[in-house]
Structure 1
Amino acid sequence: MEYLELFLKAIFIDNMVFAFFLGMCSYLAVSKKVSTAVGLGAAVIFVLAITVPLNFLLDKYILREGALIWLGPEYADYDLSFLTFILFIATIATMVQLVEIIVEKFSPSLYNSLGIFLPLIAVNCAILGGSLFMQQKEFPAISHAAVYGIGSGIGWFLAILAIAAIREKIRYSNVPAPLRGLGITFILTGLMAIGFMSFGGMLTGGDEEESKKQETVQIEEKTAKEVAENTNVSTLK
């Protein structure tokens, strides 16, 4: 249940496009055709699914303060967190290069249609954002990071697929001249963001109940401690 909730939150509530507006360059430029959007979205899923767990291991065993203790006690005080961006981007660039080679080998037409935007996945802020959010959330295990990476990729995929399908249909609509192009696209993106955020009430109720339970337990423990202290004071008197 924990993994399912994390997965659904990454797709709908913490959506890279609709919640944080990350990866908007590719989202706007490659969303004119559904076929192209599907190809790029699949590539983003693959890159996020691989890089987020890899960067989790880098952060846990190399980057964070005290992570190098596995090399010996003398390395316990080392802090390499200043290398976070460099190593994260290096991992992402490596995986994007692998995706580019695979796409060019097995689907030359898709490779040509994606053009420059395929290698630009390496500098797509949604990809780097997934690793940085993973680091911020401090997941306890690599499985959590993998689920979050896959969910984030699927969320971005659904976003670009939805806007591509709408933009294909909207060509035959009578859109007011000032709103044609990016204008109506931004309006549609905002409306879809509202729709995605509406899932928040379905997936955050458990968190609120859990926080209330924790607050109740803390209050009860504090009250019991005060009663015990007052009893001890009365006994001493």
Structure 2
Amino acid sequence: MADTSLFTIFMDGVFIKNFLLIQFLGLCSFVGVTKDVKSASGMSGAVVFVMTMSATVSYLLYTYLLVPLKLEFLSLISFIVVIAALVQLVEFVVRKNIPALYRSLGIYLPLISTNCAVLGAVLLNVRSDYGFAQSVMFGFAAGLGYTIVMLMMSAIRERSTLVSIPSAIRGLPQAFLLALMLSMAFVNYFWVIPI
């Protein structure tokens, strides 16, 4: 996989292997934060930063420390520690500089550290045997794909408050129905099935 082009990795991360709509990872923040565009964009920015930086740091840690010392069995725990440290950094910066966003994100900001999409990006980098530039590109692309879906979903959910929706599907059922429709659109548009 080391010869995979950066453009292919970018398209994989954003569309083909989209963590929210194709792999269904990280749905907690997807459902909880997409009620308005401002919160969704703040969460997305944090996730892009954490995914890109965790892909970078985890690659360096895995390649230059764990593999030479034959400690690959510690990769999962070390990746979790890296992600948790980056999330703490983001939480500190957001709380200090943008307190309104910090309050609107609530519990979902620290939950980035347990977001399986972030860990999934790092683990896919290792499993795919990506080089440094490829790992960083996939981390960034996966975060960008997350952002696109979060903003689409939040825009649709904000707009849906203006229409009459039966009470039986308001809230969580509505969010999952919208996610289903977005997922079908992604699968049908971006996957080419040979005949």
TM-score by length of 2: 0.92
Deviates further, 188-197 or 147-156? 188-197
The alpha carbon displacement at 1:105 in A equals: 1.9
1:137 maps onto 2:128 in alignment: yes
Deviates further, 182-191 or 86-95? 182-191
Say which of 16, 20, 24 aligns to 2:19: 16
- Partners of 1:199 and 1:111 lie apart in 2 by 34
Extract unaligned runs of 5+ from structure 1. 69-78, 206-237
Extract unaligned runs of 5+ from structure 2. none
1:160 maps onto 2:150 in alignment: yes
Task: Specify the SS of the correspondent of 2:23.
Answer: coil
Query: Whose radius of gyration is greater, 1 or 2?
Result: 1
- Residue type of the partner of 1:124? N
- Partners of 1:120 and 1:176 lie apart in 2 by 31
Where does residue 232 of structure 1 map in the other structure? Answer: none
Where does residue 90 of structure 2 map in the other structure? Answer: 99
Q: 5 Å matches for 1:122-201?
A: 122-139=113-130, 141-197=131-187, 198-201=189-192
- Partners of 2:72 and 2:125 lie apart in 1 by 14
- Residue type of the partner of 2:12? K
- Partners of 1:103 and 1:176 lie apart in 2 by 37
Task: Specify the SS of the correspondent of 1:196.
Answer: helix
The alpha carbon displacement at 1:58 in A equals: 1.8
Tell me the matched-pair count.
190
Where does residue 55 of structure 2 map in the other structure? Answer: 52
1:26 maps onto 2:29 in alignment: yes
- Partners of 1:190 and 1:80 lie apart in 2 by 40
Higher relative contact order (CA 8 A, sep 6+): 2
- Residue type of the partner of 1:32? K
Report percent identity of matched pairs.
Answer: 37
1:114 maps onto 2:117 in alignment: no
1:2 maps onto 2:5 in alignment: yes
- Partners of 1:185 and 1:104 lie apart in 2 by 28
Task: Specify the SS of the correspondent of 2:158.
Answer: helix
- Residue type of the partner of 2:180? G
- Partners of 1:60 and 1:93 lie apart in 2 by 20
TM-score by length of 1: 0.76
CA-based RMSD of the aligned residues comes to 1.6
- Partners of 2:113 and 2:50 lie apart in 1 by 9
